[in-house]
């Protein structure tokens, strides 16, 4: 797939395209979709998620971080929640982590860890959370499948 991503976000090219999303806490028959597309001249990647109620739909902007060694995900959802996640994406592994307060108060830490399957047609992962001083606990599994 050829995209017009600028060098600072070119490493995100494997995400570009349309995906279906499977969420372990969703009732059977609930279908969610997600797309990743270059925006603003390829300087950023827009992630758009459409999920039926009661789950939140969202928009995320993926951008290079200030240190140039990873990315930042700027997250906005249909509940009015705004968050910032530190993000890495390398060697088939995608991580998102939020351990500091930002636009939304932080009462717990969050992270997503996903891994591409060998054929690059799915990202299998899970969201986890932890309270201060506790270990990470599974919130829910979340898998992306190329549409």
Q: What is the pLDDT of residues 78-125, one digit of tens each?
A: 999 999 999 999 999 999 999 998 888 888 999 999 999 999 999 999
Domain tally, the chain: 1
Kindly report, residue by residue over 115-142, the tens digit of the pLDDT: 999 999 999 999 999 998 899 999 999 9
pLDDT at 1 over 50: no
Rounded to whole angstroms, the Cα distance separating 48 from 18 reads: 10
CATH of the domain at 125: 2.40.128.20
The answer to the question of residue 1 being in a domain is no
Quick check: helix, strand or coil at residue 82?
strand
Q: Are 95 and 113 in contact (CB under 8 A)?
A: yes
The answer to the question of residue 17 being in a domain is yes
Host domain of residue 27: 7-146
Could you tell me the pTM of the whole model? 0.92
How large is the average pLDDT for residues 19-38? 90
* Residue 135 structure tokens: 């270990």
The answer to the question of residue 2 being in a domain is no
The answer to the question of residue 138 being in a domain is yes
């Amino acid at each position: 797939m050829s995209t017009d991503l600028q060098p600072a976000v070119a490493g995100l090219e494997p995400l570009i395209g349309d995906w279906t999303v499977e969420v372990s806490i969703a009732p059977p028959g609930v279908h969610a979709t997600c797309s990743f597309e270059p925006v603003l001249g390829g300087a950023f990647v827009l992630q758009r998620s459409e999920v039926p109620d009661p789950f939140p739909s969202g928009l995320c902007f993926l951008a290079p971080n200030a240190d140039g060694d990873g990315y930042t995900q700027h997250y906005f959802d249909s509940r009015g929640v705004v968050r910032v996640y530190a993000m890495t994406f390398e060697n088939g592994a995608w991580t998102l982590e939020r351990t500091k307060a930002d636009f939304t108060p932080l009462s717990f830490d969050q992270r997503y860890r996903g891994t591409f399957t060998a054929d690059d047609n799915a990202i299998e992962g899970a969201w986890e959370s932890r309270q201060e001083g506790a270990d990470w606990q599974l919130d829910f599994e979340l898998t992306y499948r190329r549409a």
